[in-house]
Amino acid sequence: MHDVIVMGAGHDGLAAAATLGRAGKRVLVLERKNRIGGRLVTEEVFPGFKVSPCVNTGGRLRPQLIKDLCLSVDYIPHDPLVLAPLADGKHLSLWRATRRTMDEIARFSPRDANTYPRFLMFLRRVVNALEHALDLAPPSVEAPQTTELVSMARVGVNLRLLGDENLVRFMRMGTMPLADFLDEWFETDVLKAAIAGLALQGTVHGPRAPGTASLLILANLVGYGDTPRGGMGAVPAALLAACRAQGVEVRTGAEVTCLLFSNGAVSGVRLANGEEIPAARVLAAGDPREACLKLVPPEVLPPTVTLNARNFRTRGRVARINLALKSLPEFACLRGEHFQKGKHREGHFSERLRGRIHFGGSMDALERAADDAKYGRWSKEPVVEMTIPTVMDPGRAPNGQHVAELLVQSAPYGLREGDWNSRREEFADDVLGWLETFVPGLRDAVLHRQVLTPLDLEQKYGLSQGHLQHGDHGLEQLFFLRPMPGTYRYATPLPGLYLCGAGTHPGAGVTAASGANAAREVLLSYQGTSRTRESVKAAAKSPVGAGLMLFGAGLAVGAAYKALTRKPNDVTSAAVERRRSDDTTQEDLQV
């Protein structure tokens, strides 16, 4: 008998399985498709062209997970992080080096160029304060344990150390529209749109919807400025190798049709071929709606859970268009351009295509595209995020040819007129026709194209209603509200059933934090919560443990006192001046 069955061999499911296997548990992974990876796959959709059909960026795996499982993934950093072409022939690039970005912004607004370092510094400090929460299960609302309170206290102290001004600004972001937040910093529309585009990926909202400012923090927490060499499939491949190293059994082509129960607790699964496999615990790596509404018999699931699962918002509004190109497309805004890179070397225009290419040069454009999708139609001027991975990774296409991956953000799951099966190619024609405004001759360069509507994402990749993150990232579906009340700590109200996919905290990106966190909760269930409480009591009774706890508390109190009594902007202004004088600043936030 297996200790744990994991349903789904996506990156979160594999991360959970490898973590459990490392702890000595007998783990079986069941994947209904004949390949692993879930939405993180790299496929040779066209002969010689390797495409990541669903996701092309998404940040890195969590550092502790890489260390624990000895993972090896070769990431290629984007630089610039984003290129924003405009219809009038202008463009804006945001580079990793702050000084270089300031020079670009100064062509539009010297004031915004001077503001940009302070904006980055604010975001970096907030991200540093909150990052610890990515690797935590949200604390119990009803009866938090001592260790949970200590962990959250660390996050709380970090936030308090932001200082009064930054703390107030951070708190306002919770309910603030992203457009209003960016208006307080910048006056350049294309700069605001380039920053907002990433935060709004896959959401149902435009930048003027309340609460969308918080999505900017979430996007920067998980990161989006790296692509694995060879495509996104390199991530599940590395996790699969870790599973095998830990003795985890992985079976593909094994579809689970329902869960088995004994005495009110999960006792195993039944496959489509009728085989029943017993297990003490089951982890569902798919989206919460599927796990709760399709795999659990209606008479077993409590009515409140059924209602909450139905109300969990998973309605997708993005489509994917993947292109095989016979040559690198020519961007109107980059014609004949050679630009200064660093202080001494000239760079070819193709270096500007090494990251996200954002089409949608104003906040109005983002809002209009969201409105179109809201009313059941695709936008005639859509917001598109393009990457051309073969600029950085030429091995993914035949020599001299390229792959372009497009994420179109104004494609509703349900069309008001017609359906996706009959209008798929019409949609793709409209999108490519719109892009010709910025990339003349793009359609002539296309050798092959793959069009994935939200309906296709649901049917081919098991994403309910085509949502790439298993559920929207609204404030009502984040942290201890993700995916729903009573299941935010990965365990469901049904004993033995756990959720570990992107529909759980923290959700966004491809960090595999959801799977790793869920696995740790399963391991704690074997130990019992009393052991956790007793370990804290033992540490407090130990002279060394008590000393370390007092020392840590003293450091936190001292740092908080210094932060609160420091003259406003002393450190900030000095740091900004140092940054302005440095042309080679590394690893700025991925805005």
Specify the DSSP class assigned to residue 137.
P
Our measurement of the distance from residue 368's CA atom to the centroid of its chain's CA atoms, rounded to an integer in Å, reads 24
H helix intervals, 186-280: 189-199, 213-222, 234-245
Query: Distance between CA 65 and CA 67 in Å, rounded?
Result: 5
Q: Are strands 446-452 and 319-325 parallel, antiparallel or unpaired?
A: antiparallel
pLDDT of 590 reads 52
**What's the Cα-to-Cα distance from 253 to each of 41, 463, 466, 581, 589, rounded to whole Å?**
16, 18, 22, 57, 40
- Answer for the pair 302, 492: CB distance below 8 angstroms, yes or no: no
Question: What is the per-residue DSSP string for 299-354?
Answer: TTS-HHHHHHHHHS------EEEEEEESSPPPPGGGTT-EEEETTTEEEEGGGGGS
pLDDT of 470 reads 83
**Angle, in degrees to the nearest 10, between helices 363-374 and 189-199:** 40
Query: Distance between CA 502 and CA 485 in Å, rounded?
Result: 16
Of the candidates 432, 435, 427, the one whose C-alpha atom is nearest the C-alpha of residue 411 is 427
Query: Distance between CA 92 and CA 113 in Å, rounded?
Result: 12
CATH superfamily of 2-41+233-313+468-527: FAD/NAD(P)-binding domain (3.50.50.60)
pLDDT of 148 reads 65
Query: Distance between CA 291 and CA 259 in Å, rounded?
Result: 9
pLDDT of 205 reads 87
Q: Are strands 256-262 and 402-408 parallel, antiparallel or unpaired?
A: unpaired
CA atoms 274, 275, 277, 282: torsion sign: negative
Of the candidates 135, 141, 116, the one whose C-alpha atom is nearest the C-alpha of residue 68 is 135
pLDDT of 529 reads 45
Instruction: Give the start-to-end residue ranges of the domains of the chain.
Output: 2-41+233-313+468-527, 76-230+319-410+412-452+545-591
Successive 10-residue mean pLDDT values, the chain, 591 residues: 93 96 96 93 94 86 94 92 93 95 96 97 92 83 67 78 87 93 96 93 88 91 87 95 97 94 91 95 90 84 84 87 94 71 51 93 93 92 94 93 94 92 95 95 95 93 84 79 82 92 85 94 78 40 44 46 46 39 45 56
Report the percentage of the chain scoring pLDDT > 90: 58
Query: Distance between CA 446 and CA 558 in Å, rounded?
Result: 61
Query: Percentages helix, strand, coil for the chain, rounded to the nearest 5?
Result: 45, 15, 40
pTM for the full predicted model: 0.86
